[in-house]
Structure 1
Amino acid sequence: MSSPDPQVRAPRNPSARPSPDRHPSTTALRAAESVAARGPVVAVTGAASGVGALLTERLAASDDIKQVVAIDERRGECASAQWHILDVRDPAIAERLRGADVVVHLAVDLDLGTDPAARTAYNVRGAQTVLTAAAAAGVHRVVLCTSAMVYGALPDNELPLSEDAELRATAEGTGVGDLLEIERLARRAPRAHPGLNVTVVRPAVLVGDTDTALTRYFESPRLLVVAGSHPAWQFCHVEDLCSALEYAVLEKVDGELAVGCDGWLEQEEVEELSGIRRMELPSAVALGAAARLHRIGLTPSPAGDLAYTMYPWVVSVSRLHDAGWRPRWTNEEVLAELLEEVAGRHTVAGRRLGRKDATAAGAAGATVALLGAAAVVRRARKARRRG
Structure 2
Amino acid sequence: MSSPASPQRRAVRSRRTAVDVAVVGAGDPASRAVLRALVTAAAHGEIGRVVAVDVDRPPVGGVEFRLADPGDPHLVDALRGVHSAAYVAASTDLAADLVLGARVRRERNLRRAQTVITAAAAAGVRHLVVVTGAQVYGAQPGNPVPLDEDAPLQAPSDEGQVGDLMDVEQLIAVARDVHPGLAITAVRPAALVGEGVDTVTTRHFEAPRLLTVRGAASAWQFCHVDDLGSSVVVVLARGLGPVVTVGSEGHLGQSDLERLTGMRRVELSMGAALGTADRLHRVGVLPAPASDLAFVAFPWVVSSRTLREQGWAPAYDNETCLGVLLDTIRGSHAVAARRLDRKDAALGAASAAVALVGTAAIMRRRRRKGGTL
1:24 aligned partner: none
Whole-Å separation in 1 of the counterparts to 2:106 and 2:240 = 29
C-alpha distance after superposition, 1:218-265 (max 9, x if no partner): 111100111121111111111111100111111253220110011111
Structure 2 residues without counterparts, runs of 5 or longer = 1-15, 362-373
**CA distance, structure 1, for counterparts of residue 266 and residue 90 of structure 2:** 33
Give the partner amino acid of 1:174: G
Whether 1:336 aligns to 2:323 is yes
Cα distance in structure 2, aligned partners of 1:147 and 1:107: 9
TM value normalised by structure 1: 0.82
Counterpart among 279, 282, 285 of residue 269 in structure 2:
282
Q: Give secondary structure in 1 for the equivalent of 2:350.
A: helix
- Asked whether 1:82 is paired with 2:61, we answer no
Inter-partner Cα distance in structure 2 for 1:224 and 1:345:
17
Partner of 2:118: 132
2:88 to 101, 106, 124: 106
Pick one of 54, 58, 78 that aligns with 2:37. Answer: 58
Query: Is residue 207 of structure 2 the alignment partner of residue 220 of structure 1?
Result: yes
Matches within 5 A, 1:193-212: 193-209=179-195, 210-212=197-199
| CA-CA distance at 1:173 after TM superposition | 6.7
Task: Give the counterpart letter for 1:101 in structure 2.
Answer: H
Distance 1:46 1:78, change over 3 A: same
Tell me how far 1:98 sits from its aligned partner.
0.5
Contact 1:229/1:311, CA 8 A, preserved across alignment: yes
Identity %, equivalent residues: 46
Preserved contact between residue 97 and residue 134 of structure 1 (Cα < 8 Å): yes
Report the Cα distance in structure 2 between the residues aligned to 1:337 and 1:108, rounded to whole angstroms: 19
Label 1:374 to 1:122 Cα distance change in 2 as closer, same or farther (>3 A). Answer: closer
2:146 aligned with 1:160, yes or no? Answer: yes
- Residue 203 of structure 1 and its aligned partner are, at CA, apart by 0.4
137-146 or 183-192, which deviates more: 183-192
Structure whose alpha-carbon radius of gyration is higher: 1
2:332 aligned with 1:345: yes
Q: What is the identity, as a one-letter code, of the residue corresponding to 1:102?
A: S
TM-score, normalised on structure 2?
0.85
Aligned with 2:22: secondary structure?
strand
Q: Which amino acid aligns with 2:221?
A: Q
| Conserved 8 A contact 1:288-1:374 | no
Q: Which residue of 1 aligns with 2:367?
A: none
Residues of 1 paired with 2:38 and 2:358: CA distance? 50
1:27 is matched with none
* Whole-angstrom CA distance in 2 between matches of 1:260 and 1:244: 9
Q: 1:236 to 1:338 in 2, by over 3 A?
A: same
CA distance in 2, matches of 1:221, 1:173: 26
**Helix, strand or coil at the partner of 1:265:** coil
Give the drift of 1:84. Answer: 2.4
- In structure 1, distance between residues paired with 2:320 and 2:70: 35
Distance in 1 between residues matched to 2:77 and 2:53, nearest whole Å: 12
Counterpart mapping for 1:164-175 below 5 A: 164-172=150-158, 174-175=160-161
Q: Kindly indicate whether the alpha-carbon contact (under 8 Å) linking 2:35 and 2:229 is maintained by their aligned counterparts in 1.
A: no
| SS at structure 2 position matched to 1:364 | coil
Count matched residues: 338
* Mapped partners of 2:210, 2:194: distance in 1: 20
Matched, 1:259 2:277: no
Q: Give RMSD over aligned pairs.
A: 2.1
Which residue of structure 1 lines up, in the alignment, with residue 164 of structure 2?
178
**CA distance 1:109–1:371, change in 2 (3 Å):** closer
Query: Judging changes above 3 Å, is the alpha-carbon distance between structure 1 residues 109 and 240 closer, same or farther for their aligned structure 2 residues?
Result: closer
Name the CA distance, whole Å, in 1 between partners of 2:198 and 2:163.
18
**SS of residue matched to 1:236:** strand
Q: Secondary structure at the match of 2:278?
A: helix
Q: 1:374 to 1:176 in 2, by over 3 A?
A: same
Q: Is the 8 A contact 1:236 1:334 kept in 2?
A: yes
Show structure 1 runs of 5+ residues with no match: 1-36, 376-387
